[in-house]
Amino acid sequence: MSDIETMNNIITGLTQKKKNLQADVEVLLKLSGINEEIEKAIQDRDGYNSVLIEAKKRRDDAKKKKAGSVSKTMSAIAEKMNSVLPHGKAVFSYDEDDDGKRTMLIGWENEGKTTPYKGLSGGEGKIFDADLAHVLDANIIIVEAAELDSENLEKTLIELANLDKQVIVNTCHPIKFKIPEPFVKMEV
Amino acid sequence: MITHIRTKGFKGLDIDEDIPDKVIYNGKNRSGKSTRSEAIAFAILGHVPFSLTGKLPSDILDSFGTDSISSAVTIKGVEFGRKIWRNDAGKVSTSLQIDKKRASADIFSMALGRVGAPKIVDVSQFMAQSDAKKVDTLFDLFPNPELSEIDQEISNAKEDVSRIEKQKDGAESTITRLTNSKNAIEKPAGTIAEIQASILEYDNKIAYVREQIKQDEIKEAERKAIIEGERQERERAEKEAADMRVIAETKINVIEESFLPDDEITLKTDEDWTRHNIDNMPDSPEMAKNDRIISGLEQQISKLDPPCIEFENFDQKKSDYAIVSDSILTIIEALTGAGCEACAALVVAKMELKKFKGIS
């Protein structure tokens, strides 16, 4: 092999090494590009995170605001109900979860214990129904009072007597108390 | 306010009586207390709440076990009557009346509105609704003007949260994808600057070797030109010598031919030649002259012979140089193959190789 051939071989070897290094540079440049993109994506994510926190805060604040506003409405409803309930307090509780599902608790609080509507006794249920009808804007209130004891019937009549609504009460029990005016008893 | 009720065949009762504003119907079971309430509700609503009857007229007739019921209530002096009945063919019909005159459902409803829109609420029906509907009903009754604004605020914030969460998820996905791509790439050793410095170094080496090749090629061309010149000179000298040899040999032949006997003598044996030579002894001045001429010519011819020994020596020397040169080249190849492009050994080998350039 001649000297020139040898040197040409050396050039071929060196050129190949150079090409390999150039390929390495390309890989490093590509990695650098990917790193920049990752960095940008991380910045984007962090940016979105802070914006998200703000948006969630806005949403939660609005929810609290709504809860407060709803609470006022619920208080107004309960107040109307309480005006005719013979004892205890009506409970109207409203909640809405993140998915928009709304839940409503309607119950009767007596001596610090709240009984949901479905858990009310027969007599309590009839009183509650009559008063709830009042809340629901009925102008003719019908009370099926067969399950009301005398005391509760009297209290209910007293409360309903003041309403500017027509009230029809049905009971099979003898009435032993003085019927509050303007109620009129009709024997059937 | 309902002031009067009139029924016919309503759960078997025919009623026609006034109703106080606030009344307690008191009586034994099955005395008709609830029937009055149901009849009032039926007249106004068209169905019977607080009972297990359905809302369809046919269901009501079936529940009451009759083919005809009617009920009418008087409100502010106007009587509103409703009747449902089933004919012989089984068809159920409804008839509405205002002051005993037939009326359409719309007129009936409008007329009820004009007298104060009596409203009987079926609480059990309300409570059987979904919580969402209960809320809607209550908020319809207790309107909260700021709620719609707050709901819009919540809705906007939720949309923002949803949109930003998607964007954030997108950024997370991008990070994951790019990180996976990055991890899949084998990172070369060194930095870009270091590698580029190495590339520059290789460029310099390549340029250096190329320059060496260029110089070698020039030297090789010069060497070949010298050899070619020498070859041409040698050929020219050889040709000249050959020409001169031919001339000298021609002259010798001419002289020698002059020694041949004129007569035709056949010199076949040594004895013939001996006798001939005795006859032509070189003692004559002419002969002696010819001998000197021939001797001179032969000397010239001998001088015209190429310096064979010297050429043989040159070739031998050249052959030796070639062997050494090849050995050095073999060493250079080995060094290059081992990645020793710039080591001292290679530099020394190249310098040694240069000594033989132009010789081998």
Residue A56: which of B158, B243, B191 has the closest Cα? B158
CB contact under 8 A, A15 and B190: no
Q: What does the alpha-carbon distance between residue B195 and residue B181 come to, in Å, rounded to a whole number?
A: 22
Q: What does the alpha-carbon distance between residue B2 and residue B80 come to, in Å, rounded to a whole number?
A: 10
* CB B216 within 8 Å of CB A3: yes
Nearest C-alpha of chain B: how many angstroms from A6?
7
B79 pairs with which residues across the strands? B74
Phi-psi region of A111 (alpha: psi -120 to 50; beta: other; left: phi over 0): left
The label of the residue with tokens 């029924």 reads: B7
Beta strand pairing call for B92-98 and A184-187: unpaired
R_g of chain A, CA atoms, integer Å: 40
CB contact under 8 A, B37 and A170: yes
Q: What is the average pLDDT across A79-91?
A: 91
Which pLDDT belongs to residue A128?
Answer: 92
The pLDDT tens digits for A19-60 are 999 999 999 999 999 999 999 999 999 999 999 999 999 989
Nearest by CB to A45, which of B26, B175, B329? Answer: B175
Which pLDDT belongs to residue B267?
Answer: 63
B 177-206 residues inside an 8 A Cβ radius of A? 178-179, 181-182, 185-188, 190-192, 195-196, 198-199, 202-203, 205-206
CB contact under 8 A, A117 and B127: yes
- Partners of residue A136 in chain B, C-beta under 8 Å: 121, 123, 126, 137-138, 141
Does residue A180 sit in helix, strand or coil?
coil
Least confident piece of the model among A62-76, A93-107, B197-211, B262-276? B262-276
Which pLDDT belongs to residue A31?
Answer: 95
- Partners of residue B183 in chain A, C-beta under 8 Å: none
Which pLDDT belongs to residue B281?
Answer: 61
CB contact under 8 A, B195 and A30: no
Residues 6+ apart with CB under 8 A from A118: none
* CB B6 within 8 Å of CB B79: yes
Nearest by CB to A66, which of B137, B151, B187? Answer: B151
Which pLDDT belongs to residue B188?
Answer: 93
B 286-325 residues inside an 8 A Cβ radius of A? 325
Task: From first to last of the 360 residues of chain B, give the pLDDT tens digit.
Answer: 899 999 998 988 999 999 999 999 999 988 999 899 999 999 999 988 867 677 789 999 998 889 999 999 999 999 999 999 999 999 999 999 999 999 999 999 999 999 998 999 888 888 888 988 998 899 899 998 888 899 899 889 999 999 999 999 999 999 999 999 999 999 999 999 999 999 999 999 999 999 999 998 999 899 999 999 999 999 998 898 888 888 888 888 887 776 665 555 566 677 776 666 666 665 666 667 777 777 887 787 777 665 544 444 556 666 777 788 888 888 888 888 877 776 777 878 887 887 776 555
* CB B9 within 8 Å of CB A153: no
B1, B23, B152, B177: best mutation site toward chain A, by most A Cβ within 10 Å? B23
Residues 6+ apart with CB under 8 A from A44: B167, B171, B174
Q: What does the alpha-carbon distance between residue A71 and residue B150 come to, in Å, rounded to a whole number?
A: 13
A 89-148 residues inside an 8 A Cβ radius of B? 92, 94, 101-104, 106, 117, 128-130, 132-133, 135-142, 144
* Chain B residue nearest residue A184, CA to CA: B23
Which pLDDT belongs to residue B162?
Answer: 93
pLDDT confidence bin for A109, thresholds 50/70/90 = very high
Nearest by CB to A7, which of B40, B160, B213? Answer: B213
Q: What does the alpha-carbon distance between residue B187 and residue A26 come to, in Å, rounded to a whole number?
A: 11
ipTM of this complex: 0.74
Q: What does the alpha-carbon distance between residue B176 and residue B170 come to, in Å, rounded to a whole number?
A: 10
CB contact under 8 A, A1 and B32: no
**B299-330: string of b/e by CB count within 10 Å (b at 16+)?**
eebeebeeeeeeeeeeeeeeeebeeebbebbe
Q: What does the alpha-carbon distance between residue B15 and residue A142 come to, in Å, rounded to a whole number?
A: 18
Q: What does the alpha-carbon distance between residue A10 and residue A8 come to, in Å, rounded to a whole number?
A: 5
A 43-82 residues inside an 8 A Cβ radius of B? 44-45, 48-49, 51-52, 55-56, 58-59, 62-63, 65-66, 69-70, 72-73, 76-77
Give the CA distances from residue B88 to residues B54, B67, B68, B91, B92, in Å, rounded to whole numbers and listed in that order.
Answer: 22, 9, 12, 7, 10
- Partners of residue B216 in chain A, C-beta under 8 Å: 3-4, 7
Mean of all residue pLDDT scores within chain A: 91
Nearest by CB to A144, which of B29, B50, B185? Answer: B50
Task: Report which DSSP code applies to B77.
Answer: T
Nearest by CB to A138, which of B121, B195, B341? Answer: B121
The yes-or-no verdict on residue A114 having pLDDT over 90 is: yes
A150 contact B CB<8A: no
Which pLDDT belongs to residue B309?
Answer: 45
Task: Determine if the peptide bond prior to B57 is cis (ω within 30°).
Answer: no
Task: Show the DSSP H helices in A83-171 as ranges.
Answer: 122-135, 150-161
